[in-house]
Each structure stands twice: as C-alpha cells, then as structure tokens.
Amino acid sequence: MKIAVIQGPNLNMLGIREQHIYGPMSLEQIHDQMKASAEQNGVELEFFQSNLEGEIIDRVQECLGTVDGILINPAAFSHTSIGIKDALSAVNLPTVEVHISNIYKREEYRQKSITAGASTGVISGFGPFGYHLGLISLTQIVSEVKAVAAQQEQAQNKEAE
C-alpha cells in the first residue's frame, strides 16, 4: 500500500512558528514518526510539501494511478482552495484531511474547510498525533476499498464462468 502525504503552506515552519498552536515538533520529526509507524504496517509513504497552491494541485493529480490514498494537510488552503478540492475530487482516491490545531476553536474564517468536501474524513485538533490517527484511518479505508474490489472481481469471474 502506498500513501501520499501532502503538506500545505507554512508547514515547513513547524517547530518554529506559533508553538502555542502547533507545538514544538518540526515537519521532519512528524514525518519520521509517520515513517516508523508505516514501516511497521507495510505502508510506503511519499512526502511532499509546498507553499504554492498550484504545486499542491499538481501533486494531487500525480497521485492518480500511483498511490492508494492521500493524507493531506492543506493548511491555510483548506479554507480557500476550490482548486485543491477539485483536484481531490477528480482523482477520487481515499483521502484523509489532517489539521494540527482544532480549526473549530480558531478564528471564524478557519472554521470552514472547503477541501474537506472532497475528503473521506477529517482529523482536527490532536496536534502532530493527528497524522498518526490519519494514517491509521487511511490504511483501514484503503484496505476496505481493496477488499470490496477483490470481492467484486471474484463475483464477476464467477459470472463469466
């Protein structure tokens, strides 16, 4: 199983910026923890971070046919980007959106996620641990999708006989 982990703007500044909101961990430390968990479960992760909306859209589109699911923290773009939402809808892959802070306890403009409408689920407010929760959730969702596809293929093969 292969999962793309896509990180949005300013997440490269984790550990430096607003530690009272985002905590002291760097993005690299979060990714290292995710790698350790993924390795234990036979999951391959591909990491990508950009401060540019178009690059995130391009990366989402590149996921089509190359990964089984997407774990995304669109960061500020979750509140503004119809383009990222449309890209996620277009690739139609299992997607879990993660937010380090609880967006529902923040400023009003941060309490709505446009991209969530194209996500299978959203995890918000658990700090860096949210990425671990997202990874567990996404691997379960992908496993279920693959199981259903295998059952459908078996049924079609029986009909063809």
User: Which one of 31, 79, 99, 132 is the catalytic residue?
Assistant: 99
- What does the alpha-carbon distance between residue 84 and residue 81 come to, in Å, rounded to a whole number? 5
- What does the alpha-carbon distance between residue 16 and residue 158 come to, in Å, rounded to a whole number? 58
In angstroms, how far apart are the furthest CA atoms of the chain?
A: 63
Task: Based on the residue annotation, tell me whether 20 is a catalytic residue of this protein.
Answer: no
- What does the alpha-carbon distance between residue 94 and residue 138 come to, in Å, rounded to a whole number? 7
Task: Based on the residue annotation, tell me whether 99 is a catalytic residue of this protein.
Answer: yes
User: Which one of 22, 31, 79, 131 is the catalytic residue?
Assistant: 22
135 neighbors 43 (Cβ within 8 angstroms):
yes
Instruction: Report residue 100 as tokens.
Output: 């380090």
Q: Which residues are catalytic?
A: 22, 99
